[in-house]
Structure 1
Amino acid sequence: MKWILFLLFPVLLFSQSNYEKAKSAFDKETTEKLRLKYESILKTDPNNLKALEELGDVAGLNKLWDKALAYYGRLKSLKPNEADYHYKYGGTLGMKALEVNKFKALGMIGDIKDSFEKAIALDSKHIEARWALIELYLKLPALIGGSESKAIVYSNQLLTISQVDGYLSRGHIEEYYNRFKSAEQYYKKAIEVGGSKHSYQLLADLYKNKMGAPDKARTILEEYKGKNSLN
């Protein structure tokens, strides 16, 4: 089931807007303290939205998918018009799909997709849900809904919301289909408009691991260091 590369936490590594949050190290001691804190809150306030969300996040980080789904499902019931709750529910459902049998996972695809689409319907500028759908359409076989053209549709939507995410997502699509020169150009555009470390790293990784150009990879990382040496 490797073709379902999902999604709640992996997709944050691509999304420009959440990259800084996603790169922070997984700290078991911290998450355990959070769990205890918010479980205590729920004892006296069982509908506390922040506590439910934090506990869902902690469960997800610990790969307790069913527990995370229970928290996010509760959030959806309490506040059905909150886009992030649908996004997190869909992402967690996708992660669970990696660990169940093939036929059960196939039956989950519709709910995963619906969750991300619902997040976009509720928040027209939801970046992460679009990244998730891009990854979905790239990884699924065509016979069960995979589609490069649909992935590009969401990438184009990202471009209107966040130029950096738009260029990074299109570069990701081009790289996935081994169109490395095209991917290179999109990553360069992301660097031009944003200049983030993440954008430089993606281009460097492309040079080193896909285009057989380690010298270019070193040069692009040195360029980033030079531009940010005074920061």
Structure 2
Amino acid sequence: MKSKYQFAAAVALFASSTYLTTAQAHEYDALIKAKKYAEVEKAVAAKLGTDANNPDALIAKTELILIEGKESRLDEAVKIAEQCIAANPKNSECHEALGNVLGTKAMRGGVMSAITYIGKIRDSFKKAIELDPNNFSARASLMQFYLQAPGFVGGGTDKAKDLIIETIKFSPAAGALLQASLDLHEDNFDRASSTALAVNTANSEALAKHQRNVLSSIGHALTNNKKMVEAERIFRELCNRFPDSAMGFYGMGKVLLEQGKAKEAIPHFEKSVLIEASANAFYRIGKAWQNLGDKVKAVTAFERALSFKPELAKKPKADAEDQLKALKGS
């Protein structure tokens, strides 16, 4: 039986995984991808002014709140997602939005918060799939639940395997990507890599997004396990297959920096920032310039990392603050 500590760690990890998952495409998805947030907010407000329960507008509103990153607005996002479900009970994306918001709330609130919301998160994704079997992002989120949560709250690899079998009925490609996630969870890096790379997602944007996320997870896991050659291969594939995504470039920068190749890492981080700026990318750029002895550029990068929203996680945030004090004091 898992100890209380192990259980807490598992639910916190699941909440973190859920936070990384995005919803199915909707009317405002293209504008959100283009980071035209003010335009989205204006369009959503106009739509809700004439149709207060429009599902696409309500879902987009929850996403804008998550992107803003203010913990104080998460309860508002929960209410919006619940309104979406109440008014559109058969809309798969409304249920998925609630799962995403609760996952974020659980992660931000810590372990006890994760324990409080974990059942609701699971049920939201299960309902989303029930209403739309082709909602692959909800399937990916439910898969993470089964892999990370202990059995006594409904998790476990047996349920993960059942989900794979069920998913294959609707999409062999989606099922293969879920299998790659299971292989990764079991530290079978070679099979996870080969399975994920072999999936043809050319005719499905939703599946392509799923593949991109799985490959990124594999690359970071390889990096964390010091399998740098394999990690570079995965991130290089990500850069080639998804040149409009920051994931591959950020990952390549990270794996190079982990090997002490700060000079080679910086262009990859900068490329990732051009595509999609993030606090993590600026933090890594700061570490790279610090390693190269350029205090001015390191300070600038750390300051940008600390001012960026959504903000850094607690550990890198604390480190960035410490490094900034040391750099300014030296």
| TM tier, smaller | 0.7 to 0.9
Could you tell me which of 104, 107, 110 is aligned with 1:98?
A: 107
State the one-letter code of the partner of 1:35.
E
Q: 1:47 to 1:130 in 2, by over 3 A?
A: closer
Deviation at 1:53, TM superposition (A): 2.6
What residue in structure 2 maps to residue 3 of structure 1?
13
Could you tell me which of 167, 174, 183 is aligned with 2:183?
A: 174
Q: 1:99 to 1:159 in 2, by over 3 A?
A: same
Could you tell me which of 114, 119, 123 is aligned with 2:128?
A: 119
CA distance in 1 between partners of 2:215 and 2:17 (Å): 21
Deviation at 1:94, TM superposition (A): 1.3
What residue in structure 1 maps to residue 248 of structure 2?
none
1:58 aligns with 2:73: no
User: Any conservation in 1 of the 2:212–2:238 contact (CA below 8 Å)?
Assistant: no
Output aligned runs, 1:17-32, within 5 Å. Answer: 27=35, 30-32=36-38
> Helix, strand or coil for the counterpart of 1:133?
helix
CA distance in 1 between partners of 2:39 and 2:89 (Å): 28
Q: Which digits, 9 at most, give the CA deviation of each residue in 1:182-213, with x for residues without a partner?
A: 323322432xx346683895598279635736
Could you tell me which of 219, 224, 229 is aligned with 1:214?
A: 229
CA distance in 2 between partners of 1:99 and 1:35 (Å): 24
What residue in structure 2 maps to residue 205 of structure 1?
219
Output aligned runs, 1:34-53, within 5 Å. Answer: 34-53=40-59
What residue in structure 2 maps to residue 78 of structure 1?
87
> Helix, strand or coil for the counterpart of 1:80?
coil
Deviation at 1:93, TM superposition (A): 0.9
Q: 1:134 to 1:208 in 2, by over 3 A?
A: closer
Q: 1:138 to 1:115 in 2, by over 3 A?
A: same
State the one-letter code of the partner of 2:133.
S
User: Any conservation in 2 of the 1:138–1:173 contact (CA below 8 Å)?
Assistant: yes
CA distance in 2 between partners of 1:3 and 1:201 (Å): 18
**RMSD, matched Cα:** 3.8
**Scaled by the length of structure 2, what TM-score is found?**
0.54
Structure 2: runs of 5+ lacking an equivalent? 1-8, 203-207, 244-330
User: Any conservation in 2 of the 1:131–1:154 contact (CA below 8 Å)?
Assistant: no
Aligned residues: 218
CA distance in 2 between partners of 1:98 and 1:148 (Å): 22
Q: Percent same amino acid at aligned positions?
A: 21
